[in-house]
Amino acid sequence: MKFKREIGKIFLVLIMAIILTGCSSNENVGTKANDPNKNSNEGGTLVIARLSDAENLDQQFMSTINAASVTHHKVYEGLVQRDKNNEIQPMLAEEWKQLNDTTWEFKLKHDVKFHDGTPFNASAVKKTFDRLLDPNVASPRAVVLKMVKEIKVIDEYTVQFILKEPFSPLLSILANHEGGIISPKTIDQYGKEIIQEPNGTGPFKFQSWSPGQEITLVKNTDYWADEPKVNKVVFKVVPEDSTRISMIETGEAHIAEPLPVAVMEQVESSQAMDIYRSEGYGTEYIGFNVTKKPFNDVRVRKAIAHAVEMDSIIKGVFNDVGVKANSLMGSKVFGYDEKLKAYEYNLKEAKKLMAEAGYAKGFEATILTMDSKERVNLAEVLQSQLIGIGIHLKVQVMEYGSFVEKVNSGQSEMFIISWRNATGDADYNQYNLFHTDSQGGAGNTFFYSNQKVDDLINAARKEKDEEKRKEFYAEAQEIEMNDTPYIPVRVIENVAAVAKDVKGFSISPSGYLEINDVAIK
């Protein structure tokens, strides 16, 4: 009888333990306590409030980092990538080697699949770049790889890039968003039309896009590498600066970018968020369409450059966020020339040049800007400064997509814009912004053409010796500065407001939002 009573007590204790376990929180059941690789804080939806929508979701048609930030390293991945030290590292390619001046061979990762289940292999790589280079597709980004003669499949996991001529910056281009590999099924579906539903190998899958409102990505649970820590990412379009900040205060968003200097003080005093800051590769600048009269006269462009008091603009408009630029490259970009001198403020010289050009009494002109408070403020300061040489400047503020379209198509006189170098190599600036072949949507919205500059850029592309490449770029930049198709304003500083419970967020020097390691605590 005593033995039965003891058995009964043990049975009762076991029953109570089961009941208590069932009533307790699930937080530690089968997660943190039993699996050290799980984190109970992971998951959830990351909401990013952004100033502007993407113009499209096809990496072979994107002309802005703003759009590429949604898909690059999230939906699409390339053969190689840059690490935090700007060094090229493997991604979908395990290794590579340059067989000769014009042949590069890549060994691909095995057991990688696209979001639609299609295997990633050499044929998929070939199909992606064949589409990019197909003249019938007419991708505006084809120009960055126009030196590619053929993509050759050697075997299922080996592919070669056969070039028409030597091209030293090849890896830097393949690490950029133009190098993202697309599912063959998606290419078959859309052909030469812009892809509406991106499909890659990345850690996030495309779910939906409501143009002008939001883009939603979801975690790829079959990702070949470490899965992201959040389940979903929503990029919300919120044009009003104050609203983006308020959304973090109220918990409606976790990240707000870009962060205008006008609201930085508000963020600094907030208990809900911090400011993220990092130096970028790119620059902000004032551009001229050099085909439009009177801006087809270099004396007019130089006069304006001398009439702009940039120090007061950096302080008054940008509150010293980002340093004054001397070119269209940040100091961290390979090929940057620290000895290059930008035009100094000299109103007397400006008036002299205007008179020489036949515009002693000035003229009327229009400057285009996107609907960003800082850009509008900059335009208004220019408006007041240029009155000093008789130029009456009309400021036309446009929605971002319309602004890009108008500037790319050459429907501009003056404009305020930025170029975020996506590769960390001077070639990305020089070829895209100044080469004759890049006029229009590829980046040369100055519609600038100088044969000597073209020759220097082409020579730098072929040169293996890095010091010689730097010399070519230095000479090209000197000519460009003398021709004045642009006025450099500042080196871009990446700035965002980030909720205090968000960890692991960063912005690459190129300007891409890095969210694969983000966790919401």
DSSP letters for 351-372: HHHHHHTT-TT-EEEEEEEES-
Give start and end residues of each alpha helix (H) in 371-425. Answer: 373-386, 400-408
Amino acid at 486: Y
Interatomic CA distance for residues 4 and 7, integer angstroms:
5
At 373 the pLDDT is 86
User: Could you tell me if 453 and 356 are in contact, meaning their C-beta atoms sit under 8 angstroms apart?
Assistant: no
User: Could you tell me if 295 and 414 are in contact, meaning their C-beta atoms sit under 8 angstroms apart?
Assistant: yes
Question: Whose structure tokens read 């100044």?
Answer: 434
Give start and end residues of each alpha helix (H) in 74-192. Answer: 122-133, 170-174, 184-190
User: Could you tell me if 329 and 335 are in contact, meaning their C-beta atoms sit under 8 angstroms apart?
Assistant: yes
> For residue 442, what is the enclosing H or E element?
none
Structure tokens given for 255:
């990240």
CATH number of the domain bearing residue 211: 3.40.190.10
Structural domains counted in the chain? 3
Does 312 share its domain with 405?
yes
3-state secondary structure of 387: helix
Interatomic CA distance for residues 517 and 508, integer angstroms:
13
CA atoms lying within 13 Å on the CB side of residue 251: 3
Amino acid at 70: V
CATH number of the domain bearing residue 107: 3.90.76.10
Query: What domain range includes position 306?
Result: 281-493
What b/e readout covers 392-428, taking b as 16+ CB neighbours within 10 angstroms?
ebebbebebbebbebbbeeebbbbbbbbbbbbbbbbb
At 400 the pLDDT is 87
Cis-peptide into 203, omega within 30 deg: no
Sequential pLDDT tens for the chain (521 residues): 433 344 344 343 333 433 333 333 333 322 222 233 334 457 999 999 999 999 999 999 997 889 999 999 999 999 999 988 888 999 999 999 999 999 999 999 999 999 999 999 999 999 999 999 999 999 988 988 999 999 999 999 999 999 999 999 999 999 999 999 999 999 999 999 999 999 999 999 999 999 999 999 999 999 999 999 999 999 999 999 999 999 999 999 999 999 988 889 899 999 999 999 998 998 999 999 999 999 999 999 999 999 999 999 999 999 889 999 999 999 889 999 999 999 999 999 999 999 999 999 999 999 999 988 889 999 999 999 999 999 999 999 999 889 999 999 999 999 999 998 888 899 999 999 999 999 998 899 999 999 999 999 999 999 989 999 999 999 999 999 999 999 999 999 999 999 999 999 999 998 899 999 999 98
At 1 the pLDDT is 41
Structure tokens given for 248:
């973090």
At 271 the pLDDT is 94
Interatomic CA distance for residues 442 and 435, integer angstroms:
10
Give domain status of residue 451, yes or no.
Answer: yes
Give domain status of residue 14, yes or no.
Answer: no
At 504 the pLDDT is 96
Angle 62-67-73 from CA coordinates, rounded to 5°: 95
Among 134, 155, 190, where does a domain finish? 190
Does 409 share its domain with 473?
yes
At 84 the pLDDT is 82
Does 184 share its domain with 316?
no
User: Could you tell me if 217 and 75 are in contact, meaning their C-beta atoms sit under 8 angstroms apart?
Assistant: yes
Among 190, 214, 242, where does a domain finish? 190
